Amino acid sequence: MTLAVRYISARTLDTAPAEPSSPGPGEVELAPAFVGICGTDLHIFHGDMDARVAAPAVLGHEMSGRVVRVGPGVEGWRPGDAVTVMPLRWDDTCPACLAGHQHICQHLDFIGIDSPGAMQQRWTVPASTLIRLPDTLPLDLAALVEPTAVAVHDVGRAKVTEGEKVVVVGGGPVGILIALVARATGAEVRVVELSAHRRLLAEELGLTAWDPADDDVSALVQQWTGDAGADVAFEVSGAAGGVDTAVDVLGVRGRLCLVAIHPRPREVNLHRFFWRELTLIGARLYDRSDFERAVTLVADGTIPAGRLISKVVPLTEARAAFEALEGGSDVMKILVDCTGDTEGVAV
C-alpha cells in the first residue's frame, strides 16, 4: 500500500492509502520523487474546477521520479531510469490533432487534472509521456522542468529573437522562467511585479524588475527603448491591470503573448491594437521539443531551478503547502517530497 494526496472538495485534501495499479501494455509505473504545486493546482484546491475534476482526485503534474516497472511492449525504459512526464494524452483524431497540434487536442486528457496525477508514491502513466532526465540532474531541480517547458513554449510562440526588448508582466514562477528563457534567447528583458520579494529574486537572478505601484512602467519602457516601445510583452499576471500594462508597453507591430489564465473576460484597448498593428498570441502548454529544451536549460544551469524552490515538504504536509502558496507574494515554488525520506526542509 502506498500514499496519495487527494482533492476531496473545496479546501479539503487528504493523504490516504492507495493501491498501485500494475502497468498495462504501453504503460510504466513510476515512483514520483518531487512534485511541484502550480496555479492550476491551487484553482482545483479552491474548488474552482469542480466541474472538470472528479473527486477524489490525485493532483500534480510538475514532477520528477524514477521508473519502477514497465508494462508489456514497452521498450527503451528500465527500472531506475530518471524521468519527468509530459502530462498530456490526446486522441489523434480531432481536427487539432490532425492539424499537428496534439498538445491542444480538442479532447485532451491533462494528466493530473482530468486523470490521476503525480502526488503519490506510485504512479502509472503511458510510456509515451516519459521524458528522460540526465543522471547528473538532481530530482528536486528536475521537478521544475515542466514549468520551464511552459516558458520555452511561450517564448517560442512569441517568436522572441536575439536583441529584442521583452517585458514580462507578472514575476511569479512562470513569469520568472519566461524572463530567463527569453534572456537565454538573447533578448533584453524587464519584469513588472508588485511583490517586493519576487522583484528581489528577479534582481538576484540578474533581471531588472519594476514595481507598477511606484514606477511609471510605460515611461520606463519608452526611456529603455528610445521611444520605440517593447517588441514583445508577456501577460502572466492574470490581472486586468496586467493586461493594460502589457498592451501599453508595446511598440509598433509588437506582440502580446497571453500566458495567464484569465477567469473572466477582460477589457482590451483594441484601438491600440489598430493604431500600432499589434498582434495577440495565445500560448498553452507545450510539446515534446519544448520539454527536451527545458531539460537542457535546467540541467546546464541556465535555469537556476534551486533558486526558485522556496520549500520542500513531505507528502503528509501537502495541505499546508497549498495554504502557504495562497499568500503567494513571498513564496515561489513549493515541492512535495513523495519519497517519504524528508521531514520538510526549507531550502
Q: What CA–CA distance (Å, rounded) separates 194 from 338?
A: 33
Q: What CA–CA distance (Å, rounded) separates 175 from 236?
A: 6
Other beta carbons within 10 angstroms of residue 225's beta carbon come to: 17
Q: What CA–CA distance (Å, rounded) separates 347 from 341?
A: 16
Of the candidates 2, 12, 15, 40, the residue annotated as catalytic is: 40
Cα-based distances in Å from 62 to 22, 57, 226: 22, 16, 40
Amino acid identity, residue 56? P
**Helix residue ranges per DSSP H, 99-144:** 139-142
In the structure grid, which three cell numbers stand for residue 317, read together?
Answer: 504536509
Of the candidates 2, 15, 43, 302, the residue annotated as catalytic is: 43
Q: Identify whether 40 is a catalytic site residue.
A: yes
Residue with cell 486522441: 91
Tell me which H or E stretch contains 274: helix 270-276
Look at residues 147, 108, 144, 109 and name the one whose alpha carbon lies nearest to residue 259: 147
Do 258 and 273 touch, CB atoms closer than 8 A?
Answer: no
For Cα atoms 116, 143, 336, give the angle at the middle one, nearest 5 degrees: 65
Q: Which residues have a catalytic role annotated? A: 40, 43
